[in-house]
Structure 1
Amino acid sequence: MFAEVLTATPAVDVDPTVSTTLVGYSNLALYSAMAVFTIAMLLFAAHLAALGPERVERSAAGSRGSTRRRSRELVGAGAPTDGPSQDAVRAGEGDDDGMVAAEPSPRARKSAGTALTVTYLGTALVVASVVLRGVAVMRPPWGNMFEFAVAGAAAVAVVYSALAKRNKWEWLGLFVVGPVLLTLGLALFAFYTEAAELVPALRSVWLVIHVTVAILAIGVMTIGFSLGIVYLAKKRREEKGMGKGSFLETLPSAARLERTAYGWNMVGFILWTFTLIAGAIWAQKAWSTYWSWDPKEVWTFVIWVIYAAYMHARATAGWEPRKATWIALAGYVCVLLNFTVVNLYASGLHSYSGLK
């Protein structure tokens, strides 16, 4: 399997318009990216392990010291020590959950920096794989399940790499690199398709517009999904009480994580809305109808409805953010089902997986 994929030697006649040499380099870059992302995932795991107990203890110590200093200032200023001001001091300042942030340990900072550097390398390799595949076939490299999966993984990696350092999202790396690595593995070992020309129905400018936006939407939704998972874990930890020994105590508050996840899911929903509209326009040009109740069309609409329900629930008074987050997670599960189960087992006008 490895040799066949790496050298791009098909069992049938080779398409003369495809550069098998470039396809081989593309596959080599993809295998290299998987190896690099595996190292990055282990480094992010090491970062979380180093981040946990030591930083929590330092946070608690810093919080107690800050509280004592603030209390002395209040007493010195003649303020009562048993009023609301002192209650606010006990609760902490500057964060939604009352915790005072502390700098990570040198070991945690080192592992985070190394993990991000390795992630940048893995991202460059998977992007190179996509570009080489596109040049090899002289078309947008997302004409089948394999190419779409690789392009989607590349989109997630690029988005995370662009924002991780600025937002100090090293703690999120494990929850992003893990799914990226899993996607690349499925693409290579379950969805791999020999490079070839597009089927006639896909030879349209709308392939670039519709599928590109869909890839971006799924990439953004993946970040929102990862943040939602972390939010639920953090929320549960807060309700149980802030104990020591877990990296969760060092993360932003649950409220802040939920707002960030909501923002990313909102962007993903907007992009998915455009995907749905662009797909209808393309369908009219290709099949003379905007809507044909094709399985892919139906599931694309189902995903849109679920994310719309999430947005509505999130904006409705009386709905707990945690319940709304579960709706968003259900929407992302439907995205995965739409890409895998529907593509592989549902016959229709969108049967372009390359595996049938």
Structure 2
Amino acid sequence: MLALVNETLSHYSDWSYTTATAIYVLALAFFLIEQAFGAKSRRVAERAQARQLVGAGAPAPDVETTADVPEHRAPRGRAERIGRMGVSLLVLGALLHVAAIVLRGLATHRVPWGNMYEYIMAVTFIAVVTWLWAVRKFPVRHLSGFMLLPVVILMFIGGTALYTVAAPVVPALQSYWLWIHVSAAIVSSGIFMVPGVASIFFLIRSAHDRNPERFARFAPRLPAADMLDRVAYRATVVAFPLFTFGVLCGAVWAESAWGRFWGWDPKETTAFVAWVVYAAYLHSRATAGWRGTRAAVINILGFAVMVFNLFFVNLVTTGLHSYAGVG
């Protein structure tokens, strides 16, 4: 007998989701203000750090080196304070975001990723957590607005066009593989959003470094190309094994449910294409001759395939995964 849905918890989940989205929008505004008005303060911080290093007997560092200075050691201007407020809002939004996921699961008595709405809710949460990690490890906080933009768009689409009333999943998804396979897909997909955005910025910054007239008004505000490359690479290194595990678990689940490990279903095929692209990226990134621009292009291609898999394959094509919209 199917468990009844707890409508109260379901409503709390919806309210948490909506509030988290609103807070992300506010944080997005704060980060864009920092991006727009914080360039001067960052240059002051870089010069101050350079003077400290020279005073200690070190050679004068270039912009690439001073860009690696931890942000908590840099002089704080008004724009930086606004950026830190944005981070606080981002953390608050993430707490409400995870509350929405947990409450959805408690309301339905199952894992809270049984449809497209829930899947997008979980993927965007992982993307936010991954970006918070990147902000902690690298001085990229002023880029948070550009990272939050696709998150906010996805959450708006998920909460409107793709919203689904809390309910038990269809019988085909009532399996422990829903925990394993789909959770691996969620975590890897959320992490892949970060290197996708970082690789786009890498192309912009590297194009400006080669020709200062290209993207002259925007590119100087970006971190060094080498740093953006490291962010993209490290995030991809974490996400790729999880994605591989998810694909393999999907094949095992397919054999259990449909009697075959692989059937070239549209979603299976697209997931395999994405796996090949990201494998090519890691290979090219580890090969000296393919570092830089060409590796970034491959990473962006992989991100594009993941987005195509999320929307077009789930919502437009017909296949064995159409009833679920996930996994």
- Normalized against structure 2, the TM-score is what? 0.88
Is 1:52–1:246's contact at 8 Å kept on the other side of the alignment? Answer: no
Q: 1:39 aligns with which of 19, 26, 42?
A: 26
- Residues 148 and 106 of structure 1: CA distance in aligned 2, closer, same or farther (over 3 Å): same
Pick from 253, 258, 261 the counterpart of residue 232 of structure 2: 261
Matches within 5 A, 1:223-302: 223-241=194-212, 248-249=219-220, 251-302=222-273
Mapped to 1, the partners of 2:67 and 2:90 lie a distance apart of: 30
User: Residue 162 of structure 2: SS of its match in structure 1?
Assistant: coil
Structure 1 counterpart of 2:82, one-letter code: S
CA contact (8 A) 2:41 2:77 kept: no
Asked if residue 19 in structure 1 is aligned to residue 2 in structure 2, the reply is no
* Distance (whole Å) between structure 1 residues aligned to residue 49 and residue 211 of structure 2: 22
Letter in 2 for 1:93: P
Shift of 1:62: 6.5
Higher Cα Rg, which structure: 1
Q: Which runs of 5+ in 2 are unaligned?
A: none
Q: Write the deviation string for residues 130-156 of structure 1: whole angstroms up to 9, x where unpaired.
A: 111111100001111111001111111
Give the Cα–Cα distance (whole angstroms) in 1 for the partners of residues 48 and 213 of structure 2: 14
Given the superposition, is the C-alpha separation of residues 198 and 258 from structure 1 closer, same or farther in structure 2, using an over 3 Å criterion? Answer: same
In percent, how many aligned pairs have the same letter? 35
In structure 2, the partner of 1:157 is 128
Equivalent of 1:332, from 303, 307, 313?
A: 303
Q: CA 1:56–1:209 in 2, change beyond 3 Å: closer, same or farther?
A: same
Q: Runs (4+) of structure 1 moved beyond 4 Å? A: 60-63, 65-70, 94-102, 245-248
The reply to whether residue 191 of structure 1 matches residue 178 of structure 2 is no
> Is contact 1:299–1:338 with CA below 8 Å preserved after alignment?
yes
1:210 pairs with 2:181: yes
Contact 1:94–1:100 (8 Å) recurs in 2: no
CA deviation vs aligned residue, 1:48-97 (integer Å, no higher than 9, x gap): 1232134325645875x679879xx79xxxxxxxxxxxxxx5xx537746
Deviations 1:293-342 (A, max 9, x none): 11111111011011111122222342241111111101111101101011
Partner AA of 2:164 in structure 1: T
Query: Structure 1: which 5+ runs fail to align?
Result: 1-14, 75-88
CA-atom RMSD, angstroms?
2.9
- Give the partner amino acid of 2:178: L
SS at match of 2:38: helix
Aligned equivalents of 2:74, 2:269: Cα separation in 1: 48
TM normalised by structure 1 equals 0.81
User: What amino acid maps onto 1:318 in structure 2?
Assistant: G
SS of 1:263's equivalent?
helix
**Secondary structure in 2 aligned to 1:227?**
helix
Cα gap change, 1:26 to 1:138, in 2 (>3 Å): same
1:237 CA drift (Å): 2.5
- Tell me, in whole angstroms, the C-alpha distance in 1 between the residues paired with 2:6 and 2:245: 34
Choose the corresponding residue for 1:123, options 89, 94, 118: 94
Determine helix, strand or coil for the equivalent of 1:191: coil
Question: Is the Cα–Cα contact under 8 Å of residues 234 and 254 in structure 1 kept in the other structure?
Answer: yes
Q: 1:166 Cα deviation (Å)?
A: 4.8
Question: What is the DSSP-based 3-state SS (H/G/I as helix, E as strand, rest coil) of the residue aligned with 1:194?
Answer: coil
Aligned residues: 322
